[in-house]
Structure 1
Amino acid sequence: MTGYDPLDFPARSALRGRHARFAIVAGGARRYDPQVGVFAALDAPTPDALAGLAALVAAQGDVAFLEAEAPPAVPGLRVVSQALGVQMVGKDPRPGTLPEVCIRPLGEGDAEAMLALATLTEPGPFFARTHQLGTFLGIEQDGRLLAMAGERMKPDGFTEISGVCTHPDARGRGYARALISAVADAIRARGEVPFLHAYASNAGAIALYRSLGFVLRREVQMTRLGADETR
């Protein structure tokens, strides 16, 4: 795990380290269990690793890469989608004024509600067991989950904030700001650095993250690969 910055290849660092228990491995390729996540990584772009990646997609479904450069062409796979994103790091907290809300940890008993909220709001890839990747926090009203945020990839020394979403009925109340700040504070309390990703076109989200002290580290390519059914 030396020779590169963990944030340059966050999925690789996480799947070889703290998230190894979620990894499915073939040759020099690895991916998250599809019930947990969609991200994949190559140990190196070798023929063995590319063949392993193709085998993982054939067996487990689409994968995604979130790195500065798009992955190399893989025999048997096609690019399903590609979009420009940004990677931001929050070393210095700057929460500003936060709403007074009751935030609580979410657990297995909340899994169905979390998946339903993510399915409705589409904050990014979220599956039946995504909540097991790390701590998730939520805001409820009358027993109804209105907003949540949590942890996703965990490269060495860093933890990604993800799954940030608010029900349409509760937007404009500052819930996302409060939850991101709370998740980031917990990450820093462990001696780690919070980071996150956003689509470059999502100006509103990027502005929110900047207001919370996150700064741009680099642009990234969000590339989703699937089986080439024409072959």
Structure 2
Amino acid sequence: MTHVLDRPIWSALTTGWAHLAEGDARALRIDRKVGMFGAAADAAPESAVALAALVPQEGELWLVERDPLPLPPGVRVVKEGLAVQMVLDRLTPDEREPPAIEPLGDADGAEMFALATLTEPGPYVRRTHRLGGFVGVREGGKLVAMAGERMQMPGYGEVSAVCTHPDWRGRGLAGHLTRHVTAAILARGLTPFLHCYASNAGAVALYEAMGFRIRAYIHATVIVRR
């Protein structure tokens, strides 16, 4: 039986993201104002055709699957990579003094988009922060690090968009923010999970030290119209 985390985009679009979903029972994508993710219902040819119709005329659609489905007709792959999907076992204690962490929202949207564009933590558009739970650290009034939540589905909440300005790396900000968002997900009775590129050994080690474990390897495929 397929686990909800094996097809995280489809699982989110049919549950926690259902109010943001565009499409029909054959294929769905998230509202393009907040994201770039899409998924077909299954491997049927008609589902692939329906997904192809959801690829924007200008721009990308991201597919995230443990076992990739056939590509939709009329598209080409512009990027693909292997990610690790990590699920929290137990949040380990941290004795370090945390920085001042503040909630982020619409008023911070432009700064958040700029930071995400600079650091490329994953697909992020101008209103991705509206997916919820974003927090950040400021230094001298400037947003230098942030993290938030993205996919939501029964029993699970995803930590995402963890990023730090290059000038402020090496100070543990990403770790503090990840712990903050993880604790907020736990407080709602959900199991935190996250994705990061398998090649990012430093990030994987950081998350393992916090109590996350690798559950599966996930394929990320970015497609555009031909």
Q: Under TM normalisation by the shorter chain, which class is it? A: over 0.9
Flag the 1:19–1:49 CA change in 2: closer, same or farther, 3 A. same
SS of the aligned residue for 2:28 comes to strand
**RMSD across aligned positions (CA):** 1.5
Letter of the aligned partner of 1:168 in structure 2?
A: P
Residue in structure 1 matched with residue 167 of structure 2 by the alignment? 169
The answer to which of 127-136 and 29-38 deviates more is: 29-38
Distance 2:35 2:96 in 1: 30
Is 1:85 matched with 2:83? yes
Q: Would you say how many aligned residue pairs link Structure 1 and Structure 2?
A: 226
Deviations 1:120-167 (A, max 9, x none): 111111111100111101111221111000001112211111110011
Letter of the aligned partner of 1:206 in structure 2?
A: V
Distance 1:10 1:73 in 2: 17
Distance 1:200 1:208 in 2: 13
Distance 1:25 1:95 in 2: 43
Flag the 1:117–1:32 CA change in 2: closer, same or farther, 3 A. same
User: Which of 33, 36, 40 is the equivalent residue of 2:34?
Assistant: 36
User: Which of 169, 174, 179 is the equivalent residue of 2:177?
Assistant: 179
State the 1:226 CA deviation: 1.4
**Which sections of structure 1, spanning at least 5 residues, go unmatched?**
none
**Which sections of structure 2, spanning at least 5 residues, go unmatched?**
none
Letter of the aligned partner of 2:198 in structure 1?
A: A
Letter of the aligned partner of 2:42 in structure 1?
A: A
Calculate the TM-score normalised by the size of structure 2.
0.95
Among all aligned residue pairs of Structure 1 and Structure 2, give the percentage whose two residues are the same amino acid.
47
Distance 1:122 1:5 in 2: 28
The answer to which of 93-102 and 69-78 deviates more is: 93-102
Residue in structure 1 matched with residue 52 of structure 2 by the alignment? 54
Calculate the TM-score normalised by the size of structure 1.
0.93
Contact 1:66 1:222 in 2 (8 A): yes
Give the 4+ runs in structure 1 shifted more than 4 A: none
Residue in structure 2 matched with residue 132 of structure 1 by the alignment? 130
Residue in structure 1 matched with residue 191 of structure 2 by the alignment? 193
Distance 1:27 1:48 in 2: 11
State the 1:97 CA deviation: 3.3
Residue in structure 1 matched with residue 115 of structure 2 by the alignment? 117
State the 1:62 CA deviation: 2.0
Distance 1:185 1:178 in 2: 11
User: Which of 8, 11, 35 is the equivalent residue of 2:9?
Assistant: 11
Distance 2:62 2:182 in 1: 24
